[in-house]
Amino acid sequence: MDILIYGIINSISLALIAIGFALVYGISRLANFAHGALYVVNGFIVWSILNILHINYLLSIILSLIIIGLIGAAIYQFILIRVRGMAISEIIASYAIGLAMLEGFRWGGFKGMTYTLPVFIRGSIEIAGIPVDFQRILLVLIGGLVVLLLWLFTHYNRIGLALRGMAQDERAAMMLGIDSDKMALIAMGLGSILAGLAAVVILPMGNIVVEAGYDKLIMAIAVCIVGGLGSWVGAVIAAFLIGFAQIITVKYIASHFHMVIALLAIIITLVLRPSGLFGRQKELEERV
Amino acid sequence: MIEERRKERLDRGIKVTTEGIYAISSWQEMGYLLLPRLVLICGILVLPLVIPSLYWQRVISIVCIYSLLALGFDFLAHFVGLVSLGGAFFIGTGGYIAAILNTSFGLPPILTIPIATIAGGAICTLLLYPCLPLRGVYFAIVTLMYPLVMARIIEALDVLGGTDGIIGVASFPNRWIEQYGLLLIVMVSLFGLRRLVNEDIGLVFRGVKDNDQAVKASALSINFYKSIAVFIASSLGCLAGAYLAHIYMWSGISQFALDFSIIPIAATVIGGGGTLVGPVLGCFILVPISELLRAFGTLRIVFYSLILVAFIVFRSEGIMVYAQRKYHQFERWVKV
């Protein structure tokens, strides 16, 4: 039973982290390797707003999401737009930006165990004999809500539909008057906001540490690759697969293997089926 | 109406006359060919002599180790079309093999380094073999994961010394052997690779990069040639790793660290990809800068990343391509 409950919680948190990465890649074919950095940076932004400006928690979260969205959009508008289409340059450039942000924060003194965010609601509840705190329940609710809202946004909103058009066929979308660069900009901003949201929901359960930036990036990549790069449905399903696999290994083998599972999942998926479980790319594009 | 002009680039006369065998007919033309090469060789050979402090001599060794990795990266990326982000995987494999051979079997460095080079290259090629059909981003991501997975497995299983690593690896008899051995290896690999890519097999490699279907249609196995290329590049990496283990007298998980994957790539971007000299030059610029900035702590990584971003966005050709163009060509403005 505890495997079920903690598996669901772990899976939803993985899905929250990965969905921003999947969104950006799906729409603009841009592997945003600064995703993990944006996650951690938003944690620090919320912490700074809370402890320096002393305003309402909810308000500071909303403020931080706006800021992180703007940061993400700025990264695209000023840097990544110039290397668009050159896959390797995109990866190196975005990874270097992420590295610069993370190490900048580390240099600025944001390290150690002192940075924590308060939980939304204190206390815990027992589900089938296992104590689960409210933050984790909220995480599941928010995760579900985000997936639902994203689905509604991309199916019933003009901008959302344009984003999906871009994802399906960029040239055809451009012929129909959809501005490819503007859409990619929006996608990058939205992806950053999703990374920030994941940070706000997940970080209160632990400390804000710089190293998390690298770990979360790897997790996001793992989930997206197993699910198929660019497929959101695949990302959510893969999040459940990897999430449960992790909880089961921690329970029955050893907690050291927590990360090995994700990395092995990437390698095995890429070798056997590079387009992932639900990828829609043609086989020929990715392997000989 | 504004008069529109564009820049025209033409090869220098001397460049054209030195392309064939007749270059040996005049001293001027031979000088034109030999000058850049001699400057590089003499510069590298003099370097350990002119640098006084032991600390900076050690830095030169580290530069050479990164140069070997960068050479391998450039060869794979620009001549075979495989972008490998897993330089640390090669370093770690070579380092651990050399350390095990030295501490458990008592072999001296003169034996462990060649064995680690060949065996490490074979092991890396074997482990990477299933990924060879992958292309572009997919190969890049999967190679990025290899060193991480190795480090985590060693940590989790607590084998090979676990988190402490293997200590007590023998060092070199004296620092001149250490330095000149490494410098010679770098030069031999540099000129050897330059020769290799212009041989027949080099043409096949470039064919694999540009149009693999055409290579397949010529009844050549793509995977076979890719694995040869990976063997060459990973041997260079393992050689560097084995050397590193002997220099630091230690081998551990941090040899799988991302530094070994990132810095060679940065050096290649800055030095100029596809030239093979460029990455070496890039290492000679980047690594000392990062040593100078050591006092700033992690801020140097920030500098580093920003330089990398600036180069990749604004000057993606790199220093060496620019220098070659200036050396071989002249420019003039012409009316459109």
Dihedral, CA atoms, B321, B323, B329, B334, nearest 10 degrees? 90
Tokens standing for residue B181 = 């051995």
Gap from B257 CA to chain A (nearest CA, Å): 12
User: Does the distance separating the beta carbons of A259 and B312 come in below 8 Å?
Assistant: no
Return the DSSP state at B335: E
A chain contacts of residue B216, beta-carbon cutoff 8 Å: 288
Using the Cβ of A97 and the Cβ atoms of chain B, whether some distance falls under 8 Å is answered with: yes
Q: pLDDT digit string (tens) for A184-232?
A: 888 889 889 989 888 888 888 777 777 778 888 888 888 888 887 767 7
Gap from B96 CA to chain A (nearest CA, Å): 20
Chain A from 211 to 240: CB within 8 A of any B CB: 218, 221, 225
- In single-letter form, the type of residue at position B86 comes to G
- In single-letter form, the type of residue at position A13 comes to S
Using the Cβ of B217 and the Cβ atoms of chain A, whether some distance falls under 8 Å is answered with: no
Tokens standing for residue B296 = 């700033």
- Whole-number Å distance between alpha carbons of A215 and A14: 11
- pLDDT by residue, tens only, chain B of 336 residues: 677 888 888 888 888 888 878 778 888 888 888 888 888 888 888 888 888 788 888 888 889 999 999 999 999 988 988 888 888 899 999 988 888 888 888 888 888 889 999 999 999 999 888 888 877 777 888 888 888 888 888 887 777 777 777 877 777 777 788 888 889 999 999 999 999 998 899 999 998 888 888 888 888 888 899 999 999 999 999 999 998 888 888 887 878 877 788 888 888 888 888 888 999 999 998 888 888 887 777 777 788 788 888 888 887 788 888 888 888 888 888 887
Using the Cβ of B145 and the Cβ atoms of chain A, whether some distance falls under 8 Å is answered with: yes
- Whole-number Å distance between alpha carbons of A232 and A241: 14
pLDDT of A285 over the 50 cut: no
Return the DSSP state at A50: I
Is B10 or A116 the better-scoring residue by pLDDT?
Answer: B10
CA A204 centroid distance within chain: 17
- Whole-number Å distance between alpha carbons of B94 and B21: 41
For residue B211, give the chain A residue with the closest CA.
A288
User: Does the distance separating the beta carbons of A287 and B135 come in below 8 Å?
Assistant: yes
Local confidence band at A284 (pLDDT 50, 70, 90 cut-offs): very low
pLDDT of A287 over the 70 cut: no
B chain contacts of residue A225, beta-carbon cutoff 8 Å: 141
**What is the predicted pLDDT for the residue at B83?**
86
**What is the predicted pLDDT for the residue at A230?**
67
Tokens standing for residue B133 = 């059909």
CA B28 centroid distance within chain: 32
Q: Where are the domains of chain A?
A: 2-286
- Whole-number Å distance between alpha carbons of B135 and A283: 11
Average pLDDT of every residue of chain A: 80
Using the Cβ of B297 and the Cβ atoms of chain A, whether some distance falls under 8 Å is answered with: yes
Q: What is the tally of helices (H) and strands (E) in chain B? A: 14, 4
Q: A84: buried, middle or exposed (CB in 10 Å: 19+, 13-18, 0-12)?
A: middle
Chain B from 258 to 287: CB within 8 A of any A CB: 262, 265-266, 269
Q: pLDDT digit string (tens) for A121-166?
A: 666 677 666 777 777 888 888 888 888 888 888 888 888 888 888 8
Three-state secondary-structure class, residue B219: coil
**What is the predicted pLDDT for the residue at B68?**
92
Compute the radius of gyration of chain B from its Cα atoms: 21
Using the Cβ of B296 and the Cβ atoms of chain A, whether some distance falls under 8 Å is answered with: yes
Closest by Cβ to B153, choosing from A96, A221, A260 = A260
B chain contacts of residue A264, beta-carbon cutoff 8 Å: 149
Q: B218: buried, middle or exposed (CB in 10 Å: 19+, 13-18, 0-12)?
A: exposed
A chain contacts of residue B135, beta-carbon cutoff 8 Å: 285-288
Closest by Cβ to B222, choosing from A257, A264, A288 = A288
CATH for B5-335, options being 3.90.1460, 1.10.3470, 1.10.1060, 3.10.310: 1.10.3470
Chain A from 245 to 264: CB within 8 A of any B CB: 254, 256-257, 259-260, 263-264
B chain contacts of residue A288, beta-carbon cutoff 8 Å: 133, 135, 212, 216, 222-223
- Which residues fall within 8 angstroms of residue A11, CB to CB, at 6 or more apart? A239, A240, A242, A243, A244
Spell out where chain A has E strands: 124-127, 130-133
Using the Cβ of B33 and the Cβ atoms of chain A, whether some distance falls under 8 Å is answered with: no
Using the Cβ of A286 and the Cβ atoms of chain B, whether some distance falls under 8 Å is answered with: yes
CATH number for the domain formed by residue range(s) A2-286: 1.10.3470
Gap from A89 CA to chain B (nearest CA, Å): 7
- Whole-number Å distance between alpha carbons of B64 and B43: 13
Using the Cβ of A82 and the Cβ atoms of chain B, whether some distance falls under 8 Å is answered with: yes
Using the Cβ of B174 and the Cβ atoms of chain A, whether some distance falls under 8 Å is answered with: no
